[in-house]
Every structure is written in structure tokens, then in C-alpha cells.
Amino acid sequence: MTKQQATLRMSGFVATSLGLSLTLLGALGCGEDDEPASDDAASCMGAKCDAPDGGTAGEDSGEASGDSEGEAESTTGDAFPSELLKICEQRKDEAFTKGRSAFTPDHLRWSCADVVGTLAEDRGQEYCEYFVVVQRPDAEEADLLGLLQELAPSTEETDQELEVSPSSLELTDDEIYALEADPTAEAGRCVFTSWNADVDPCEGSCNETDEVYGIPIVDASVFRMTFDANTYEAAEALVADCMDYIPGEGDHDVASDPYHDDFYRACELNSVINETEYRKSDNTVCAASLRLAECGCYLNLRVELPAGVSQQGKLGFPLGGWEGADILPAGCRYEPVVAGAKQLVTCELTAAEVIDNASELKSYCAEKYAHDVVVHVPVPAAAVRCDPDVESEPYASSCAEEPWNVAP
């Protein structure tokens, strides 16, 4: 490769204060003193691990992975990779869909739906994993369909070993007959969770009474995310890395150079650092983080974090809908693991839907609900202060009043 070695943006206060605050807002544990569950749970760090086509993450762009020690490579002086540009265009189109913008003054947003081409075993790439719970007539226990389960945790030498429970449901003639007796009755629920894989259940303050078809909602083996990458530590690393590294700079004589576009510039940076340019979540967070760094933003620590964020619970990024952070699609409800928490959502499946889609209920849940169940990353707008350095940052002159609210 002909890439130049990247330099780190020397804004330690920016990265530590604002970067940590963004991730702390949405991704802390249940209590103020909670720690991540284990050292093994977050070995992926900022980069997520599974490409949607089952190949190696980042192989389409030909970029090399970096780390927080400054080993990522910049593309300053290089042309924007043509194959990468195609992927970034797709992600940008999604991020700026009318009525479903990824960037708002108060939140960064994306849906739980995986990008097209994600393999069944890799679904749950957007800091939101999902599966299905079905209660068959007269069955003693509910069926868990498409649930991601850990066989062995990752270590310094080995990757995390995972398996997915079957997504199809085998119904007997008697069960079909019983379900058909009342086709509009609820027979199951689609489950969406943003409860971070490295956050332990609360002690004392958790909701110990509520269940989903007999399964306690505090059961972390069922309702907590499983992917190593869906962790507090990975989210923190993503924000910090995208604030620290300097991406490529466009040709000032070419107005259409993709590097002049804030989203494309962040998408390329994300591909170099994390090799996850195909993900909605990583590009959205990286774009907001990059602009905050380029605009010299920091968190005014004398201002308390927005009360509404802490009240939403700290299991992970809150879930909501496109119409609002607290508005879910019809048929869905919150299952608050902690009082006020919004990291666990279940949506109704009728008996008729279970019968008609028994061969692939997880896909049906994705089709019906996942595009409208939305991850919301709260931004502490009232506490952000910015001081753009137009002499040292090439894109500081374009900084808006709310740099994280990236414009198309």
C-alpha cells in the first residue's frame, strides 16, 4: 500500500471528555459504579467482527485495520477508493432518508435492521440484536428462535465462539389447529435488545418480576446482547478512535472530491480504523465524532449530563422509533429491565403470523419491525462547547452550530 502513516489529532481533552461522555450516556451499566462484565467480552474493541457477506471485514475497501496507538493509516493525498465510495454512498443514502435522518440535534439514530446481505448468523450488527419468543399451545416452555448464544468467550489467542438457535418452528397439526382457533391472538413476540454484552444485570434495582412468556427479563443469557462488538467498551473505542485519527483531505481544486463530504470522510476513516464501512451504526457514530473533533468541541464538565439520559437507564443505547426516542412502532412495548430503561423492546406476533411464517420467524420480525425500532444515542447538546481551529483543521471552516448534526 502507498498510504501514509496517520498522525493522531492531539486533542486529548476533546477525546476523553466528549468521546467518553457520548458513550457513557448510552452505554453504561445499570448503576453508577457498574463495571463491564469481563475482560474477554470486548476483545473486538472499536471494530466489529463480521462482514455481511461472511468474509473478512473491510476486504472490499482494501484498507488495513489500525488501533488506538496510532497505527491506522490515513489516505491524505490519495484518491478516495472507488469500491469504498459505493459502500459509503449506500450508507449515506440511508443516513439521510427523509424522516429517518441519522443525525438530529439531540440524538444519533439508526434502525435495528441489518444491511442487505447480512448472513443469518451475523444478524445484530447495529448495536441491536434480535430474536423471537413463541409460546406454542400447551407447551411448558416458550421457544427461542434465532437467539445468538455464546459457546466460548474470546481470549487473546482465540475468537469468540457463537451459535444461533434455529429460526424455524415445527408446528404439529394439533398446534396449528389450536392457533387457528383465534388467529388474532398473541402467540409470540419479536425481541430487540441493545443491552450491552459487557454489562452485568443490576443487583437490587432490577425488575425481578416481569417476564416474557415465563422468561425473566433480567435473564442476561437470553435478553442481553452477545456479540463481542456489541459492548460498552467497543462503543467507547469507536468514538475515541474517530475523534483521534485524522482522515484524508480532499483536493482543494476539485469541488466534487468525496473527501470534502463530511459523511464520506468519516466513512473512509471508519474503514481504515475499524473495517466496518458497511455498517450504519459505526459510520453514523464516526461521522458525528469526527465533526466534533474537527470543530474543536469539548464537554463543559460544569454542566450536568442531561437528566433525561440517565433516567432512561444505562444498559446500553436506548431504543425508540423514528417519530421519537420514546415512541415505538405499533404492537411494540418496552420491557424495562431497570425502572425507566429502554434497551429491551418486544413486538407482538399473532397466531396467524406464527403459522404463516413458521419457517423463518426471525426474518419476519426483521421485515415487520426492525426498520422501525431505532437505536438512539443521546447527545449532551447543552454541555457541548466548540472552538474550531481553522488554521490547523482543513474542514473547521465548515463547522455548524451543532457539528454532530451532520448535514447531507
- pLDDT reported for residue 51: 46
Range 69-73 average pLDDT: 45
- Flag whether pLDDT at 172 surpasses 50: yes
pLDDT of residue 20 exceeding 70 = no
pLDDT tens figures, 129-138: 999 999 999 8
Coil vs helix vs strand at 20 = helix
Higher pLDDT: 183 or 240? It is: 183
Res 273: pLDDT: 92
Residue of 384, 344, 339 whose CA lies nearest to 21? 384
- Higher-confidence residue of 151 and 183: namely 183
Locate the DSSP E strands across 117-205. Answer: 129-134, 143-145, 148-152, 161-164, 186-193
Q: What is the pLDDT of residues 261-274, one digit of tens each?
A: 999 999 999 999 99
For 343, the grid coordinates are 434497551
Which tens digit of pLDDT belongs to each residue from 292-338? 999 998 877 553 322 222 233 478 999 999 999 999 999 999 999 98
Residues in the chain: 408
- DSSP character for 143? E
Q: Are 272 and 286 in contact (CB under 8 A)?
A: no
Residue 15 confidence (pLDDT) above 70: no
Mean of pLDDT over the chain = 80
185, amino acid identity: A
* Percent share of the chain, pLDDT over 90: 53
pLDDT at 71: 43
pLDDT for 77 equals 54
Domain ranges of the chain: 4-398
For residues 232-256, average pLDDT: 87
